[in-house]
Chain A
Amino acid sequence: MTGHDSQKPAVPAALSVGRAVPRLEDPKLLRGQGQYLDDIALPGLLECAFLRSSAAHAKIDDLDVEEARAMPGVHAVLILADLMPKLTSGRMPLGASPTGGQSNSTPFVLSNSEVAYVGEPIAMVVADTRYLAEDAAARVKVAYTPLPVVTDARAGMSADAPTVRTELESNVLNSFNVGFGDVESAFANAAHVFSDDLWQHRGCGHSMEGRGVVAEVRPGDELCVWSSTQMPHDLYYMLQSMLGLDQDRLRVITPDVGGGFGPKYCLYPEEVAVPAAARLLGRNLKWVEDRRETFISSIQERDQYWTVEVAVDANARLLGIRGRLVHDQGAYAPKPVNLPYNSATAMSGPYMLPSYSMDVVIVHTNKVPVSSVRGAGYPQAAFAMERTMDLIAFKLGLDRAEVRRRNLIPPEKMPYTKKLKARSGAAMVYDSGDYLASQAEALEAAGWKDFPDRQARALAEGRYIGIGIANAVKGTGRGPFESGIVRVGQDGKVSVYTGATAMGQGIETALAQICADGLSLPVDDVRVIAGDTARTPLGLGGFASRQLVTAGSSVHLAAKSVAAKALAAASVILDVPQADLELKDGHVRVLASNRAISLAEIARTLRGAPGYAFPAGTEPGLESAMHWRSDSLAYANACHVAEVEVTPELGQVEIKRYVALNDSGRMINPMIVKGQVEGGIVHGIGNALYELMGYDDSAQPVTTSFQEYLLVTATELPFLETILRETPSPINPIGAKGVGEAGTIPAAAAIVSAVEHALAPFKVRISQTPITPEALFRLVESSKTN
């Protein structure tokens, strides 16, 4: 070699990517210095409260707001007609950003003539304080004429069922078939056919911080809106359209977000009503959801009823699955019907399935509207498939893991094309992963092989222990793009701007790591600015475990582009060939010499100070904007093994062990990955055992506080054992796959598998979640009498 190693990369290899770098978000949050929505203080800020329907379905005959309006401290009591002068439509747009596509299934900004679920907003009170606003809301007099309700989607789909809204001709919002292959001949030629009816209920998202909106009126007819949302850019486009605002007069900011989990993916009537009222009154307004409002007005991802028939050959290999999926949509459909489509297309998961036919029916009921909660349709699909796997094993007297092993897609078949289309219309191609090795590793760690002996010994002592398994695949990194802008400041510090939304998952740290490595800088020198439409013109936001894959790829490419630009500029400034330069520690250094120029100095030079020579052949500004595009999904996979002990007399389930293997591709920060997986598992455990959003026969919600709706607390959990595999994705430049939902998807199926196994002596079949103590007790009792 002469002079320098020509193979040496101009930017050193990873410094922080792959390491458990402490989160940049933490110090302020630990000091109580985070700024969440309710912390935003503005001059003359007034507070709002919503009067919500107490009826599940009713015609509103009369609304008397006069008494409320006259109360001291009350500035306004508004109904839809009052807001209309500031709105282009009284009804929310379908989906989010599309400005057209009006449908008669979206909610109203305020609903003044008919209400279709308990919690639907009717009127809005603006007062000096929230206390006064709630007082006044209680004084609004509403005269209702009750109308018939639909509480069960299966009953609601019949032709003679009453409609959940009088404007509808039928409660069936949509129906379609998802399928491939010759399912009829698969069943005709099967060695065995089994069937089951399944119900999965998921309850609510319940981020600890509820939703909230602040609207600030600014001079020049400008408006700044803060929202605790996963989708600031969608909110921007939607508000621009709904308020008829010039694009330069609107700014949407997402401050620190106290958790999302799906419900903050949707755009809500309150996010329109509050800004519209602010413009109407010329006042700064705030509304913060309280927990009761979460229960009755934030999106839930609710019930699906599956009827599944499976055909297998003599060796328990899948030949075909057919059935029907009834999806309870609630009273409105704020988003298109993505969720049941996800469920239907995700059912076969990590398995090879030659034929499939699922009839999907989406049915309105008089309950809170439905959109995504962590997993977005996948947990129901995994539950249906994994319960089916267990059923095959039980009927054929085979080991449950063995049945799965025979049907898993082997690694040599990767990439594996499912005969289905993703929502983007692209083919559903599993990019990478070793499902057989994943399952084997999880089983080994969990002591699957020895369990029958342990179970027999326990049973001899009168203890009912069981072990359960579930696999899952999750399509992550949904496009079509996310933005990443990397800008080197005049002091050499770097700002990353992105449309990705920080909602507590650590995306800022992960993006900072990617950027820091791309520019050979310490992570602390990088600041990530997310969730501000004025500073990031293009973006989508947080959903479908997509942000690290999409924004991470953009930031990676942008940082590389900035590095290349810095090297090119330094070559001109220093008059040294680029091949003799390397970027290291924030400087471009001349190899085999002491000469160097800092990124700060290059940034200052490329700023182009007036009167000074600009380096020839270089572009102004040391920055790059990337919008990495993708229609493909990166498929993360997981295998969970749960061990439980059940007390049949009490219907009580104690989780004794939980082993979770997760493969989300290349890990940028394993600590964050582990945290996401563990949080996801506990969400799934809640779905399996505790979380029930209850309604009575008149569609009145009966769980509207955390005293009735149970979330998992620390004492219900064993030590979670997490195994992290790393199979890079070939479809994006950083090799990453999403992780946020992968922990949740198989958890309920694994727990239920274990509970059923523990109760094997009673021969119970569990076909639902949550499996509450009462439900379990009844199953055991009825098995005794049978």
Chain B
Amino acid sequence: MHEIEMLINGRSYSGLAEARMTLADFLRHSLGLTGTHLGCEHGVCGACTVLVDGASVRSCLMLAVQAKGAIVETVEGLAATDGKLSPLQQAFQDTHGLQCGYCTPGMLMTIVELLRENAQPSEAQIRDAISGNICRCTGYQSIVEAVLLATGGKSAGRMSE
């Protein structure tokens, strides 16, 4: 067992983990931060995406011990301390960018990373950024619209309703 300490959403956490324990399981089950979800456990679906030292990682493919001493950001850190949704989260609600909500934490963290690099992404850039996140419910369009809404961007699509 290894003792690990990391800064998660601005708060220090520590715990014991076997060398083989994934970061996702450590966050979820050792620390009780269950907002991060597991959809495939082989790095394809993106539901478990968190930011480690500012870069997105699949927490199902990273070992907890590898995140020792790291700065970790998860979905629980996005809303304000009083619970107010961040502009991106609010845009998700406004555009119906989620249905079952299971892929949503990974989507949000992926987009948080995108927006730090590019505050005004185009529709194509947004689709590209979330192409590693699978959503079975929404058909993605409302997610793309959420990002455009949050960033003041415009959809290239034709609205016919």
Contacts and interface: CB of A to CB of B under 8 A. Distances in A.
Interface string A679-716: 11111000000000000000000000111000101110
B119 interface: no
A23 B160 contact: no
B76 A31 contact: yes
A714 B131 contact: yes
B8 interface: no
Given A30-B108, A208-B45, A722-B161, A23 B100 contact: no
A679 B158 contact: no
Contacts of B45: 208, 291, 706
Contacts of A705: 40, 42, 44
A209 B100 contact: yes
Interface in B72-106: 74-76, 78-79, 83, 85, 89, 92-94, 96, 98-105
B94 A22 contact: yes
Contacts of A39: 28, 34
A41 interface: yes
Contacts of B140: 682, 713-714, 717
Contacts of B39: 208-210, 258, 291
Contact of A41 (B32, B36, B78): B32
A30 B100 contact: no
B160 A31 contact: no
Please indicate which of the listed interface residues B18, B85, B136 has the most CB atoms of chain A within 10 Å of its own CB: B136
A545 B101 CA distance: 20
B14 interface: no
Interface string B112-148: 0000000000010011101111111111111110000
Interface string A263-304: 000000000000000000000000000110000000000000
Interface residues of B, number: 65
A257 interface: yes
Contacts of A544: none
B5 interface: no
A115 interface: no
B89 to A, nearest CB: 4
Nearest to A32: B35
A108 interface: no
Given A26-B93, A678-B142, A208 B102 contact: yes
Contacts of A682: 139-140
B64 interface: no
Please indicate which of the listed interface residues A209, A257, A291, A714 has the most CB atoms of chain B within 10 Å of its own CB: A714
Contacts of A503: 100
A350 B62 CA distance: 52
A724 B161 contact: yes
B56 to A, nearest CB: 16
A22 B137 CA distance: 17
Interface stretch (A77-85, A423-431, A480-488, A668-676): A668-676
A182 to B, nearest CB: 44
Contact of B34 (A32, A261, A504): A32
Contact of B134 (A34, A208, A257, A671): A208
Contacts of B94: 22
Given A208-B103, A714-B127, 11 more contacts: A27-B93, A31-B89, A32-B36, A208-B134, A256-B101, A291-B40, A504-B137, A675-B96, A713-B130, A714-B143, A721-B159
The 7 lowest CB-CB distance pairs between A and B, nearest first, are A32-B35, A504-B100, A719-B157, A29-B101, A258-B102, A678-B139, A32-B75
Interface of A: 20, 22-23, 25-27, 29-36, 38-39, 41, 131, 206-210, 256-259, 261, 290-291, 445, 503-506, 659, 671-672, 674-676, 678-683, 705-707, 711, 713-715, 717-724
Interface of B: 18, 20-21, 28, 32-42, 44-45, 47, 74-76, 78-79, 83, 85, 89, 92-94, 96, 98-105, 108, 123, 126-128, 130-144, 155-161
